[in-house]
Amino acid sequence: SQMLKHGILGLINYHEMTGYEIMQAFRDSLNYFWKAQTSQIYRELQNLEQKNWVAKTIVPQQGKPDKNIYSITEEGRHELIRWLSDGDPGLVSRNPFLMKVFFMGEQSRAENLRCFRELKACCQLLMEGLDSVPEQIKAYGSRLDCGEKSLYWEMTVEYGRRNMKMLMEWAQDCIAMLEGNHSL
């Protein structure tokens, strides 16, 4: 996907990384707004290499498989900057849950109440998960010596937090509508 490709490019732009390190970075920092499977990451790395946006260095290791280290190329950096400045905020998103909500009239009210309660609980968990992220960002930022860049990571987390809060309020209102037998 477009996003995954640029996410990987952005990470490698900070410093060269192995596929495993990229996977860890996704898990520790990008995970709450961008889920990526290990297999997708490795497939995308191959694509980036074919496009000559990343270069792979093979490091032989004793008694272990060789280690592949990826670094960004000049062309890769051009692509990253092009993507950052392309002006498309990507606000029109495909939201599978909203598609379901639209057709929920086909299910029982009790079933739908359960769905909204689950959504609320899920958001609650995700929000609690975000509590530790600022600490992770500080640690990651100091390890990478990224200076002001970590400010933008904090902005991203804050968006996540507000988004979860909005979803919880919306789910609660949907529950109230269903419990109050309002005509929807």
Hey, what amino acid is at 60? P
The answer to whether 72 and 53 are in contact (CB under 8 A) is: yes
Q: What is the pLDDT of residues 125-178, one digit of tens each?
A: 888 877 777 777 777 767 777 778 778 888 888 888 898 999 999 999 999 999
Q: What is the pLDDT of residues 98-125, one digit of tens each?
A: 888 999 989 999 999 999 999 999 999 8
Average pLDDT over residues 23-27: 83
Percent composition of the chain: helix, strand, coil (DSSP 3-state, to 5): 65, 10, 20
Q: What is the pLDDT of residues 45-69, one digit of tens each?
A: 999 999 999 999 999 999 999 999 9
d(CA 143, CA 151): 15
Q: Which of 2-6, 10-14, 70-74, 91-95 is predicted with the least confidence, judged by mean pLDDT? A: 91-95
Q: SS3 of 56, please?
A: strand
pTM over 0.75: no
Residues 6+ apart with CB under 8 A from 150: 137, 138, 140, 141
d(CA 10, CA 4): 10
